[in-house]
């Protein structure tokens, strides 16, 4: 102890900087970092991946918070198992190596060991299964949804319907690289974004026009198959205003990588305002001049986009 403390004092003098100064500098650095991150968060939340990101995306819904917790819990379990197995194998390789054991053991059974290596994995699986099922049921659906949004996958764009607002509907097609404006993300930006209110329980329904697609929004903990002829359901409650990016997550054809999902979460008041504006711009049931059959119009648009994409091989955009 004394020697360690002594050498510490010597080092302190050598570098000419006291420990307390180092601590102060570290605290100042940390404070600056926290402040800048805080400011960044206070601006607008951006739900996208970052280069060299570790772990999952930042959670912005109760489901994703639980997915994150579950992921961290599993990480501990698999780390312990991996380290245990590694140490066991190193031990076996050293302790039972051929040079040390000219006459190999002829043991074939060990009842205690066999019971243990059966029971312990079962216990581990049960420990994983209980929170896993709890999470599955939590993410499944909400009984008291305040609104509903329907996402329809097409080759290769998404359409959205707002059943609570006279089936207000529009398509969201990718913005091509050369048309991107400053700050818009490549392969993730759509011409129309899906506007949703924060702090609202939103029921999500999804289906598809042609083949199986999948609605995925990592920050919100959503990955839901969009299957033709059936409706899948889940729910979200977005906690932060901002933009959330996602992608189709089911291989759905050659334009699969070009059908991003872009959600803009706004306050409830701004959402109500947006619905009024959107009704001017987009079609809804009963609007003069709106197509009689939204699904047929959508299918026709998908056919045109697919045909042009086949011809040119370029990103399948709307125009
Ligand atoms: Cu798709």
Taking only the tens place, the pLDDT of each residue in 197-244 is: 999 999 999 999 989 999 999 999 999 999 999 999 999 999 999 999
- In the predicted model, is pLDDT for residue 314 greater than 80? no
Of the candidates 231, 223, 173, 236, the residue with the CA atom closest to the CA atom of residue 207: 231
CA of 211 to the centre of ligand 1 (A): 8
Retrieve residue 130's tokens: 């209980």
CA of 8 to the centre of ligand 1 (A): 61
Q: How far apart are CA 316 and CA 319, in angstroms?
A: 9
Q: What angle do CA 115, 128, 227 make, to 5 degrees?
A: 125
If you compute the radius of gyration of the chain from its CA atoms, what whole number of angstroms results?
A: 28
- In the predicted model, is pLDDT for residue 7 greater than 60? no
Most confident of 148-157, 285-294, 305-314: 148-157
Q: Name the average pLDDT for the chain.
A: 85
CA of 94 to the centre of ligand 1 (A): 52
CB 257 within 8 A of CB 156: no
Percent of all residues in the chain with a pLDDT value above 70, rounded to a whole number: 86
Retrieve residue 197's tokens: 């209110």
pLDDT, greater one: 43 or 223: 223
pLDDT at residue 135, as a whole number = 95
CB 207 within 8 A of CB 150: yes
CA of 290 to the centre of ligand 1 (A): 26
CA of 292 to the centre of ligand 1 (A): 25
Q: How far apart are CA 238 and CA 240, in angstroms?
A: 6
CA of 144 to the centre of ligand 1 (A): 29
Q: Which residue has the tokens 């190999």?
A: 104
Q: Tell me the H-state helices in the chain.
A: 2-15, 19-42, 62-95, 111-140, 268-281, 294-312
pLDDT at residue 91, as a whole number = 95
62-98+110-140 in CATH: which number?
1.10.287.90
Taking only the tens place, the pLDDT of each residue in 128-146 is: 999 999 999 999 988 899 9
CA of 253 to the centre of ligand 1 (A): 7
CB 169 within 8 A of CB 151: no
Taking only the tens place, the pLDDT of each residue in 84-113 is: 999 999 999 999 898 988 888 888 899 999
CA of 247 to the centre of ligand 1 (A): 8
Helix H or strand E segment including 172:
strand 168-172
pLDDT at residue 42, as a whole number = 45
- In the predicted model, is pLDDT for residue 8 greater than 50? no
Q: What angle do CA 294, 296, 300 make, to 5 degrees?
A: 115
pLDDT at residue 297, as a whole number = 84
For residue 299, is the peptide bond before it cis, meaning its omega torsion is within 30 degrees of 0? no
- In the predicted model, is pLDDT for residue 32 greater than 70? no
Taking only the tens place, the pLDDT of each residue in 144-190 is: 999 999 999 998 899 999 999 988 999 999 988 888 888 888 888 99
pTM over 0.85: no
CA of 216 to the centre of ligand 1 (A): 10
Q: Is 147-312 assigned to CATH 2.60.40.420?
A: yes
Q: Where are the domains of the chain?
A: 2-38, 62-98+110-140, 147-312
**Band of residue 6 on the pLDDT scale cut at 50, 70, 90:** very low
pLDDT at residue 14, as a whole number = 41
CA of 160 to the centre of ligand 1 (A): 14
Q: Is 63 buried (19+), middle (13-18) or exposed (0-12) by CB count in 10 A?
A: buried
């Amino acid at each position: 102890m004394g020697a360690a403390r002594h050498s510490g004092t010597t080092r302190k003098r050598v570098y000419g900087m006291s420990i307390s100064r180092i601590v102060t500098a570290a605290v100042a650095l940390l404070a600056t970092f926290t402040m800048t991150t805080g400011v960044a968060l206070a601006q607008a939340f951006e739900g996208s991946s970052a280069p060299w990101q570790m772990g999952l995306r930042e959670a912005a819904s109760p489901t994703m918070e639980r997915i994150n917790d579950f992921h961290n819990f599993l990480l501990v379990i698999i780390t312990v198992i991996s380290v245990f197995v590694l140490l066991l194998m190193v031990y076996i390789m050293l302790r039972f190596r051929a040079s040390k054991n000219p006459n190999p053991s002829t043991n074939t059974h060990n009842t205690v060991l066999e019971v243990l290596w059966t029971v312990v994995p079962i216990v581990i699986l049960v420990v994983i299964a209980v929170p896993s099922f709890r999470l599955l049921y939590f993410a499944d659906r909400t009984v008291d949804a305040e609104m509903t949004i329907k996402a329809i996958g097409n080759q290769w764009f998404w359409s959205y319907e707002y059943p609570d607002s006279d089936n207000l509907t529009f398509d969201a097609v990718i913005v091509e690289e050369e048309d991107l404006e400053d700050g818009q993300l490549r392969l993730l930006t759509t011409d129309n974004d899906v506007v949703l209110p924060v702090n609202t329980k939103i029921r999500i329904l999804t289906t598809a026009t042609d083949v199986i697609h999948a609605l995925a929004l990592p920050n919100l903990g959503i990955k839901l198959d969009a299957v033709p002829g059936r409706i899948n359901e889940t729910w979200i409650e977005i906690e932060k205003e901002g933009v959330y990016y996602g992608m189709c997550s089911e291989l759905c054809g050659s334009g699969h990588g070009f059908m991003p999902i872009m959600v803009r979460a706004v306050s409830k008041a701004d959402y109500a305002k947006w619905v009024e504006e959107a009704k001017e711009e987009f079609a809804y049931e009963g609007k003069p001049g709106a197509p009689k059959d939204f699904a047929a119009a959508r299918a026709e648009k998908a056919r045109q986009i697919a045909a042009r994409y086949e011809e040119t091989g370029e990103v399948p955009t709307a125009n």
